[in-house]
Amino acid sequence: MIAPRKLTDPIVFSNTLFAINACVWLYVGRVYCAVAMFVSFIASMAYHHYRETLRVTLYADRLSAIVALSTTLYFAYPHLNIFKVTYVSIFLYVSLYIKNMGTVDYNTRHLAWHICVFMGQLFLASTIPLN
């Protein structure tokens, strides 16, 4: 078995950005979004900690990411206008492009992907009006 990455490895540590996203969603009063982001944080941390070798963590990471994105879009959507929808769409496209750039090594592009997800989730949470 391959030795796990250290928690201080950038691709593992960058998952803490998702925990920050969970806190932001909690701050704006969307508990479901916070829980979805926190589960995504745990699943992604496990997947990258074990060097992407465990199939169960791969499935957990992908499923939790899809659930988190779906949940946060569902709660943010009523607060989006055409300009914000356009921004979110372009940002998602660029983020996926960065994630799948074949010319850059996996760790660098995936770290960039984590940063993009963090920024996108901050934007979505910022659309929720505070009471």
Q: What is the pLDDT of residues 5-60, one digit of tens each?
A: 999 999 999 999 999 999 999 999 999 999 999 999 999 999 999 999 999 999 99
- DSSP three-state, residue 127: coil
pLDDT-above-70 percentage for the chain: 99
Give the pLDDT of residue 102. 79
Say whether pLDDT at 108 is over 80. Answer: yes
* CA atoms of 1 and 4, how far apart (whole Å): 9
Say whether pLDDT at 68 is over 80. Answer: yes
Work out the pLDDT band at 131, boundaries 50, 70, 90.
confident
Say whether pLDDT at 1 is over 80. Answer: no
* CA atoms of 78 and 36, how far apart (whole Å): 19
Give the pLDDT of residue 81. 96
Sign of CA pseudo-dihedral 21, 26, 30, 33: positive
Give the pLDDT of residue 43. 97
Of 11, 119, 43, the closest CA to residue 35 belongs to 43
Mean pLDDT for the chain overall: 95
